[in-house]
Structure 1
């Protein structure tokens, strides 16, 4: 009798996914050291960005003999105090500079190497998309939701999701934040599904389908439930498909929510 294979491995995009960390070890002991180093740096960056209202879209780390190169793309939430206006952009620059300095101090004290940090702000790309006529017509269809606090952030993040590659992390982290702050979970998820449906049908979309699975106690219910949002096509048995996958956890007063996001790209 043959062994059964977990079908989830077919939907993780293993074949066409780029490694987020690259290094060359000399012996097994050094490999363990580099893995631990990588985890500590990522945990530190994730925590600092989360406190300051920034969502990381991707974080790539490249190691060589002399230094560590880190490439981070991020999105700034409108709900937080950090804004991208000309008057307040210095606050963001100062924050990134202080992050680079603190990372260098941490790495030199523990690993005797230096860090080179490069960042990319995804908010700046949204200005160009705002001039697109198709995007304007899409916003007109959704204007009845414009009074909602998260409307602008949701539109911006979904726009990045359908136009950028490997953007499942950005969407899953945003959902995790909203599940923690918003008590009306069912309203948020229905709102998310309506906006996603509109975005998948536009001509500038680069994704075939999207699947979101959330487990937790919705609206403070006594029992945990599972909710699935699936739009478009998600292949079940294909290694050649380009799928971006991410898993996030939201810690709330009613327990934790597990969020899984699959984005199938064209």
Structure 2
């Protein structure tokens, strides 16, 4: 059953943390998180948003957007971020703070690789060429292994099939292995095509901080005070991929 388990969920509490941090009122908050993520994904161009982390307090929500194109998310003079913050404030009816975190190596980020393949499939680019380029780019960035699985009516064939491309090693059964995973769907004229991406970046030893907002929480209190005084507050935080 190990091969059928989501690698990220399988490592929760060991080397990965939750993408949403809150408790109580499960039904309402999980629906609200879904609406927030759906709005942000639809608000910006496809393929530039990696992951969205949400942390809640009683009257405050901190949203961290990991992206490969921070300039597009921030906008000119921060206008885009301010607009999104106001819309999310109306949606959640709470004070919202948005942090922008740059993905410095998008070739090693599974969500960005999967969304890039989906965009190319929808533009009718050869799937074999796209997959080989993605694998080559990941291995050039010192990935220990990458696996891409694609299934559906490939090239418009009458019968759906599944193809898998792999290079290097993917240790799905080792908990300390840093395996990034994402699944996405391409909607083409022939039907839906599923894309799954596994990327192994290495192994993690020792104790690590599982907070998704690492490096941002220390500045959060000061930024809340600045917002109360009328200052605009948004962050541009660079994180290093492991």
Q: Same fold by TM (over 0.5)?
A: yes
Q: Following TM superposition, by how much is the alpha carbon of 1:262 offset from its aligned partner in structure 2, in angstroms?
A: 1.1
> How far 1:54 sits from its partner (Å)?
5.3
**CA displacement at 1:6 relative to structure 2:** 5.0
Distance in 1 separating the partners of 2:6 and 2:173: 6
Match of residue 17 from structure 1: 16
Residue 42 of structure 1: aligned partner: 37
Q: Rg: which structure is higher?
A: 1
Q: In structure 1, which of residues 211, 223, 238 is the aligned counterpart of residue 159 of structure 2?
A: 223
Structure 2 counterpart SS, 1:17: coil
Distance 2:195 2:42 in 1: 18
Partner of 1:32: 27
Q: Is the 8 A contact 1:22 1:61 kept in 2?
A: yes
Q: Do the aligned partners of residues 23 and 196 (structure 1) sit closer, same or farther apart at CA in structure 2, a change above 3 Å counting? A: closer
More helix by share: 1
Retained in 2: the 8 A contact 1:212–1:228? yes
Give the Cα separation in 1 of the matches to 2:189 and 2:168: 34
Correspondence for 2:198: 262
* CA deviations over 1:171-206 (Å, ceiling 9, x no partner): 111111111113422332333344444x15xxxx2x
SS at match of 1:95: helix
1:168 equivalent in alignment to 2:117: no
| TM-aligned CA deviation for residue 246 of structure 1 | 1.0
What are the within-5 Å matches in structure 2 for residues 106-255 of structure 1? 106-108=91-93, 113-122=94-103, 125=104, 157-158=106-107, 161=108, 167-197=109-139, 199=140, 205=142, 207-255=143-191
| Farther-moved stretch of structure 1 (212-221 vs 185-194) | 185-194
* TM-score of the two chains, using structure 2 as the length reference: 0.72
Structure 1 pair 169–19 and aligned structure 2 pair: CA distance change class (3 A): same
For residues 231 and 253 of structure 1, what CA distance do their matches in structure 2 show? 30
Asked if the contact 1:10–1:239 (Cα under 8 Å) also holds between the matched residues in 2, the reply is no
For the 8 Å contact 2:131–2:148, the answer to whether it is kept is no
RMSD after superposition: 2.6
Indicate if the aligned counterparts of 1:10 and 1:238 stay in contact, CA closer than 8 A.
no
The corresponding residue for 1:104 is: 89
8 Å contact 1:248–1:260 — kept in the other structure? Answer: yes
SS in 1 for 2:31: helix
How many Å separate the matches in 1 of 2:81 and 2:46?
13
The change in CA–CA distance for 1:262 and 1:69 in structure 2 (over 3 A counts) is same
Tell me, what secondary structure is at the counterpart of 1:103? helix
Cα distance between partner residues in 2 of 1:231 and 1:83? 33
TM-score w.r.t. length of structure 1:
0.66
Report if the CA contact (8 A) 1:217-1:224 is conserved.
yes
SS at match of 1:41: helix
CA contact (8 A) 2:47 2:115 kept: no
Partner SS for 1:44: helix
